[in-house]
Amino acid sequence: MSFRLKMNNAAMKAGSNTVLALDLPLDEPHLLLSRSVEVLEMVHPYICAVKINHQLVLPLGLFDGVQKIVSFAHDQGLPTIMDCKINDVGHTNRAIAECYYKAGFDAVIASPFVGWDEGLEPVFEIAEQMRRGVILLVYMSHKGAEEGYGQKIQDPKIGRIIPQYVKFAEKASLWNADGAVVGATYPEKIKEVHAILGDDVPIYSPGVGLQGGDIKRAVIAGARYLVVGRTIMLAQNPAEAAKSIRDVTKQCLKE
């Protein structure tokens, strides 16, 4: 089954478009594994997937603690995404992706900055071989994103100046990526990217909640999945927070 189909099935089953970013503070590293599983156990009925980044991989180990979390997520019917932001030369990129796929991840996030030839082409090749997904980083959610993703470039093909993220969105379409990341904190960018991608490449939007991203504005602009971390993870009742986000999103989709 393709990654896109896994995501669609999981979203339909849970009635949720929320991807949980399993971001935990590192002040108690010995509790990272147990706390991750505990939160997943509470919130899994209200989410459609799980995203993990280096905050867990570095202290827990990929084929140790993190693989256990991935397996637990799969047991709950949740696809898993590794937010590794692959951004190196081709043979290294392939090795990175292959490691994460072998650990059980269903998709990786990669940066289009490195280009296709001897860049991300090997990642897409191994993803196809292993029937996994590749999501491209088009515009991040933090305040400094404009310095890189928002910079202006000259597109040699059309001979005019365009924003970097527009070019990245075009690459996501050209390379048939399984998703594109655009911060929920920039709904106007989501709208622009959605105009390029349509419904062919779903938009994943991080930054809802503590970073200031608004659910309704992101969904109306074209976000397909909302990536939510600390708003759920640091809530007094994570299940209640996840359910609330799910319900608000469903209401926005109806409007």
The pLDDT score that the predictor gives to residue 253 is: 76
Distance CA 185, CA 167 (A): 20
**pLDDT in the model for residue 247:** 93
What distance lies between CA 177 and its chain's CA centroid?
A: 12
Reply yes or no on whether 85 is catalytic: yes
Q: How many Å apart are CA 126 and CA 159, to the nearest integer?
A: 34
Specify the CATH number for the domain of residue 88. Answer: 3.20.20.70
Q: Please state the pTM of the whole predicted model.
A: 0.95
Residue 223 contacts residue 205 (beta carbons within 8 Å): yes
| Predicted pLDDT of residue 255 | 64
Would you state the pLDDT for residue 176?
Answer: 96
State the Cα–Cα distance between residues 74 and 166, nearest whole angstrom.
34
From the list 104, 111, 81, the residue with the least C-alpha distance to 19 is: 81
How far, in Å, CA of 144 to CA of 151, rounded? 11
| Strand 49-52 relative to strand 18-21, pairing | parallel
For each of the chain's 255 residues, which pLDDT tens digit applies?
Answer: 799 999 999 999 999 999 999 988 877 788 899 999 999 999 999 999 999 999 999 999 999 999 999 999 999 999 999 999 999 999 999 999 999 999 999 999 999 999 999 999 999 999 999 999 999 999 999 888 888 888 888 877 777 888 899 999 999 999 999 999 999 999 999 999 999 999 999 999 998 877 778 899 999 999 999 999 999 999 999 999 999 999 998 888 766
The residues, ordered by sequence, that sit 6+ positions from 228 with a Cβ below 8 Å of its Cβ are 18, 19, 20, 21, 206, 208, 209, 242, 245
Distance CA 109, CA 132 (A): 11
Q: Which one of 85, 167, 171, 216 is the catalytic residue?
A: 85
Q: How far apart are CA 60 and CA 54, in angstroms?
A: 10
- Domain of 173? 3-254
- Nearest of 207, 166, 201 to residue 187 by alpha carbon: 207
Q: Are 68 and 52 in contact (CB under 8 A)?
A: no
CA-nearest of 148, 147, 152 to 163 is 152
Give the count of domains, the chain.
Answer: 1
